[in-house]
Amino acid sequence: MEVSSLREPKMSGRVADVLRKMFIRGEIPEGTKLPPEAELMAQFGVSRPTLREAFRILESQSLIEMERGVRGGARVTRPTRETLAGYAGLLLQYDGVTLRDVYDARAVLETPIVAQLAKNRDPAVIAELEAIVAQEGNQPTGEEGFANQTGFHAAIARLSGNQTLQMLSEMLHHIIEKANRSMQPTEGARADRALRRSAKTHAMVLELIKAGNADEAAQLWHRHLVKAEEYVLAGSESSTVVDLLD
Protein backbone atom coordinates (compact mmCIF):
# COMPACT_ATOMS: atom_id res chain seq x y z
CA MET A 1 0.00 0.00 0.00
CA GLU A 2 1.40 3.36 -0.99
CA VAL A 3 0.67 6.54 0.86
CA SER A 4 1.38 9.65 -1.13
CA SER A 5 1.14 12.22 1.64
CA LEU A 6 -0.35 12.93 5.01
CA ARG A 7 -1.49 16.39 5.98
CA GLU A 8 -0.39 17.65 9.36
CA PRO A 9 -3.33 18.60 11.57
CA LYS A 10 -3.90 22.31 11.98
CA MET A 11 -1.82 23.78 14.78
CA SER A 12 -4.94 25.19 16.42
CA GLY A 13 -6.34 21.66 16.65
CA ARG A 14 -3.13 20.39 18.20
CA VAL A 15 -3.16 23.16 20.80
CA ALA A 16 -6.80 22.36 21.58
CA ASP A 17 -5.90 18.66 21.95
CA VAL A 18 -3.14 19.41 24.47
CA LEU A 19 -5.34 21.69 26.57
CA ARG A 20 -8.28 19.25 26.42
CA LYS A 21 -6.13 16.42 27.78
CA MET A 22 -4.91 18.68 30.59
CA PHE A 23 -8.51 19.54 31.52
CA ILE A 24 -9.66 15.91 31.50
CA ARG A 25 -6.67 14.71 33.53
CA GLY A 26 -7.32 17.40 36.12
CA GLU A 27 -4.00 19.14 35.51
CA ILE A 28 -6.02 22.32 34.96
CA PRO A 29 -9.07 22.04 37.26
CA GLU A 30 -12.57 23.20 36.42
CA GLY A 31 -13.03 26.90 37.17
CA THR A 32 -9.36 27.73 36.55
CA LYS A 33 -8.69 30.80 34.47
CA LEU A 34 -6.12 30.12 31.76
CA PRO A 35 -2.98 32.29 31.59
CA PRO A 36 -3.04 35.43 29.41
CA GLU A 37 -2.91 34.96 25.65
CA ALA A 38 0.67 36.27 25.40
CA GLU A 39 1.88 33.66 27.89
CA LEU A 40 0.07 30.80 26.14
CA MET A 41 1.33 31.98 22.75
CA ALA A 42 4.90 31.81 24.05
CA GLN A 43 4.37 28.39 25.67
CA PHE A 44 2.90 26.83 22.52
CA GLY A 45 4.94 28.85 20.04
CA VAL A 46 1.87 29.90 18.08
CA SER A 47 0.34 33.13 16.82
CA ARG A 48 -2.65 34.90 18.39
CA PRO A 49 -5.05 33.83 15.56
CA THR A 50 -3.99 30.18 16.04
CA LEU A 51 -4.53 30.34 19.81
CA ARG A 52 -7.91 31.99 19.41
CA GLU A 53 -8.96 29.32 16.93
CA ALA A 54 -7.99 26.69 19.52
CA PHE A 55 -10.13 28.55 22.06
CA ARG A 56 -13.06 28.50 19.63
CA ILE A 57 -12.71 24.72 19.30
CA LEU A 58 -12.69 24.22 23.08
CA GLU A 59 -15.55 26.68 23.57
CA SER A 60 -17.69 24.80 21.02
CA GLN A 61 -17.10 21.65 23.11
CA SER A 62 -18.18 23.45 26.31
CA LEU A 63 -14.69 22.96 27.78
CA ILE A 64 -14.01 26.66 28.27
CA GLU A 65 -16.08 29.80 28.45
CA MET A 66 -14.73 33.12 27.23
CA GLU A 67 -15.07 36.06 29.60
CA ARG A 68 -15.05 39.45 27.95
CA GLY A 69 -13.65 42.74 29.20
CA VAL A 70 -10.33 44.02 30.49
CA ARG A 71 -9.98 41.12 32.92
CA GLY A 72 -11.49 38.61 30.53
CA GLY A 73 -9.99 35.41 29.23
CA ALA A 74 -10.69 31.69 29.03
CA ARG A 75 -12.03 29.81 32.05
CA VAL A 76 -12.16 25.99 32.22
CA THR A 77 -15.68 24.55 32.37
CA ARG A 78 -17.20 21.08 32.41
CA PRO A 79 -19.65 19.86 29.75
CA THR A 80 -23.10 19.32 31.24
CA ARG A 81 -25.61 16.54 30.61
CA GLU A 82 -27.71 19.18 28.84
CA THR A 83 -24.78 19.77 26.48
CA LEU A 84 -24.66 16.06 25.65
CA ALA A 85 -28.43 15.95 25.18
CA GLY A 86 -28.25 18.98 22.93
CA TYR A 87 -25.68 17.37 20.63
CA ALA A 88 -27.55 14.06 20.62
CA GLY A 89 -30.83 15.83 19.96
CA LEU A 90 -29.26 17.62 17.01
CA LEU A 91 -28.16 14.32 15.47
CA LEU A 92 -31.59 12.79 16.08
CA GLN A 93 -33.19 15.79 14.40
CA TYR A 94 -30.97 15.46 11.33
CA ASP A 95 -31.81 11.75 11.07
CA GLY A 96 -35.55 12.38 11.43
CA VAL A 97 -35.78 10.11 14.48
CA THR A 98 -39.30 9.86 15.88
CA LEU A 99 -40.17 10.60 19.48
CA ARG A 100 -41.61 7.09 19.71
CA ASP A 101 -38.13 5.78 18.97
CA VAL A 102 -36.72 7.84 21.85
CA TYR A 103 -39.41 6.63 24.26
CA ASP A 104 -38.81 3.02 23.23
CA ALA A 105 -35.09 3.47 23.88
CA ARG A 106 -35.84 4.75 27.37
CA ALA A 107 -37.95 1.66 28.10
CA VAL A 108 -35.14 -0.64 26.93
CA LEU A 109 -32.65 1.22 29.12
CA GLU A 110 -34.68 1.72 32.32
CA THR A 111 -36.56 -1.58 32.62
CA PRO A 112 -33.54 -3.77 33.49
CA ILE A 113 -32.25 -1.03 35.81
CA VAL A 114 -35.45 -1.27 37.87
CA ALA A 115 -35.06 -5.05 38.02
CA GLN A 116 -31.49 -4.67 39.26
CA LEU A 117 -32.53 -2.16 41.93
CA ALA A 118 -35.04 -4.71 43.20
CA LYS A 119 -32.39 -7.43 43.28
CA ASN A 120 -29.95 -5.19 45.19
CA ARG A 121 -32.49 -3.73 47.66
CA ASP A 122 -29.93 -1.13 48.70
CA PRO A 123 -31.28 0.74 51.77
CA ALA A 124 -29.82 4.06 50.60
CA VAL A 125 -31.44 3.70 47.17
CA ILE A 126 -34.79 2.77 48.72
CA ALA A 127 -34.60 5.72 51.10
CA GLU A 128 -34.05 8.15 48.23
CA LEU A 129 -36.90 6.70 46.19
CA GLU A 130 -39.16 6.84 49.26
CA ALA A 131 -38.40 10.55 49.64
CA ILE A 132 -39.31 11.17 46.00
CA VAL A 133 -42.54 9.19 46.26
CA ALA A 134 -43.48 11.05 49.44
CA GLN A 135 -42.92 14.35 47.68
CA GLU A 136 -45.06 13.22 44.76
CA GLY A 137 -47.88 12.37 47.16
CA ASN A 138 -48.03 16.00 48.25
CA GLN A 139 -47.22 17.58 44.92
CA PRO A 140 -49.30 20.26 43.22
CA THR A 141 -50.97 19.72 39.87
CA GLY A 142 -50.27 21.49 36.61
CA GLU A 143 -46.86 22.54 35.35
CA GLU A 144 -45.15 22.24 38.74
CA GLY A 145 -46.58 18.78 39.24
CA PHE A 146 -45.19 17.55 35.92
CA ALA A 147 -41.80 19.04 36.80
CA ASN A 148 -41.73 17.16 40.12
CA GLN A 149 -42.92 13.92 38.52
CA THR A 150 -39.75 13.55 36.45
CA GLY A 151 -37.62 13.14 39.59
CA PHE A 152 -38.43 9.44 40.00
CA HIS A 153 -37.44 8.68 36.40
CA ALA A 154 -34.20 10.64 36.72
CA ALA A 155 -33.38 8.82 39.97
CA ILE A 156 -33.77 5.36 38.42
CA ALA A 157 -30.65 5.70 36.27
CA ARG A 158 -28.73 7.80 38.78
CA LEU A 159 -29.16 5.13 41.45
CA SER A 160 -28.07 2.32 39.14
CA GLY A 161 -24.46 3.11 40.01
CA ASN A 162 -23.43 2.88 36.35
CA GLN A 163 -22.24 6.24 35.09
CA THR A 164 -22.53 5.31 31.41
CA LEU A 165 -26.15 4.24 31.83
CA GLN A 166 -26.79 7.41 33.83
CA MET A 167 -25.38 9.60 31.08
CA LEU A 168 -27.38 7.87 28.34
CA SER A 169 -30.54 7.96 30.43
CA GLU A 170 -30.16 11.64 31.25
CA MET A 171 -29.68 12.41 27.58
CA LEU A 172 -32.97 10.67 26.71
CA HIS A 173 -34.64 12.15 29.79
CA HIS A 174 -33.78 15.67 28.65
CA ILE A 175 -35.48 15.10 25.28
CA ILE A 176 -38.48 13.30 26.78
CA GLU A 177 -39.03 15.95 29.43
CA LYS A 178 -39.22 18.55 26.67
CA ALA A 179 -41.71 16.38 24.79
CA ASN A 180 -43.82 15.94 27.93
CA ARG A 181 -44.13 19.70 28.26
CA SER A 182 -44.78 20.51 24.62
CA MET A 183 -46.80 17.61 23.18
CA GLN A 184 -49.67 17.53 25.71
CA PRO A 185 -51.23 20.14 28.04
CA THR A 186 -50.02 20.13 31.64
CA GLU A 187 -53.20 21.75 32.95
CA GLY A 188 -56.72 20.37 33.22
CA ALA A 189 -58.54 17.25 34.40
CA ARG A 190 -56.82 14.86 31.95
CA ALA A 191 -53.37 16.06 32.97
CA ASP A 192 -54.26 15.80 36.67
CA ARG A 193 -55.45 12.21 36.23
CA ALA A 194 -52.21 11.34 34.43
CA LEU A 195 -50.19 12.80 37.30
CA ARG A 196 -52.12 10.81 39.91
CA ARG A 197 -51.75 7.55 37.95
CA SER A 198 -48.05 8.14 37.51
CA ALA A 199 -47.49 8.87 41.21
CA LYS A 200 -49.47 5.74 42.13
CA THR A 201 -47.37 3.60 39.79
CA HIS A 202 -44.14 5.02 41.20
CA ALA A 203 -45.27 4.02 44.69
CA MET A 204 -46.19 0.52 43.52
CA VAL A 205 -42.84 0.05 41.79
CA LEU A 206 -41.07 1.20 44.94
CA GLU A 207 -42.92 -1.41 47.02
CA LEU A 208 -41.86 -4.14 44.57
CA ILE A 209 -38.26 -2.92 44.74
CA LYS A 210 -38.38 -2.99 48.54
CA ALA A 211 -39.77 -6.54 48.41
CA GLY A 212 -37.02 -7.65 46.05
CA ASN A 213 -39.54 -8.68 43.39
CA ALA A 214 -37.41 -7.91 40.35
CA ASP A 215 -39.58 -9.46 37.64
CA GLU A 216 -42.81 -7.77 38.71
CA ALA A 217 -41.06 -4.44 39.27
CA ALA A 218 -39.57 -4.56 35.76
CA GLN A 219 -42.88 -5.57 34.16
CA LEU A 220 -44.82 -2.82 35.93
CA TRP A 221 -42.20 -0.20 35.06
CA HIS A 222 -42.22 -1.22 31.41
CA ARG A 223 -46.03 -0.95 31.27
CA HIS A 224 -45.81 2.45 32.93
CA LEU A 225 -43.32 3.71 30.34
CA VAL A 226 -45.48 2.42 27.49
CA LYS A 227 -48.54 4.17 28.96
CA ALA A 228 -46.58 7.40 29.36
CA GLU A 229 -45.51 7.18 25.74
CA GLU A 230 -49.11 6.62 24.61
CA TYR A 231 -50.29 9.59 26.67
CA VAL A 232 -47.70 12.05 25.37
CA LEU A 233 -47.79 10.92 21.75
CA ALA A 234 -51.58 10.56 21.47
CA GLY A 235 -52.45 11.90 18.03
CA SER A 236 -48.77 12.61 17.29
CA GLU A 237 -47.38 9.13 16.67
CA SER A 238 -45.22 10.26 13.76
CA SER A 239 -43.76 13.30 15.52
CA THR A 240 -39.99 13.59 15.32
CA VAL A 241 -37.43 15.10 17.64
CA VAL A 242 -37.24 18.14 15.37
CA ASP A 243 -40.93 18.85 16.14
CA LEU A 244 -39.82 19.94 19.63
CA LEU A 245 -38.31 23.02 18.01
CA ASP A 246 -41.74 24.26 16.94
Q: 37-74: per-residue pLDDT in tens?
A: 999 999 999 999 999 999 999 998 889 999 987 778 99
Q: How many CB atoms neighbour CB 69 within 10 A?
A: 6
Q: Domain spans of the chain?
A: 11-76, 82-245
The C-alpha atoms of residue 183 and residue 239 are separated, in whole angstroms, by: 9
**Contact criterion met (CB below 8 Å) for 162 and 117:** no
The alpha carbon dihedral of 225, 227, 229, 232 has a sign of negative
Per-chain mean pLDDT for the chain: 85
Residue 4 pLDDT > 50, yes or no? no
pTM of the model: 0.71
The per-residue pLDDT for range 129-167, each reduced to its tens digit, is 999 998 887 766 666 666 666 788 889 888 988 888 888
Place 186 in a pLDDT band, splitting at 50, 70 and 90.
low
- Superfamily the domain 82-245 falls into: GntR ligand-binding domain-like (1.20.120.530)
Model pLDDT, residue 185: 65
Secondary-structure class of domain 11-76 per CATH: mainly alpha
Residue 3 above 60 pLDDT?
A: no
Helices (H), the chain: 11-24, 37-44, 48-60, 81-94, 99-120, 123-137, 142-158, 163-183, 189-211, 214-232
Q: How many CA atoms lie within 13 A of 228 on its CB side?
A: 29
C-alpha radius of gyration, the chain, whole number: 23
pLDDT computed for residue 179 by the predictor: 78
In this structure, what is the dihedral angle of CA atoms 8, 9, 12, 17, given to the nearest 10 degrees?
-130
Q: Which of 226, 232, 197, 210 is nearest to 111 (CA)?
A: 226
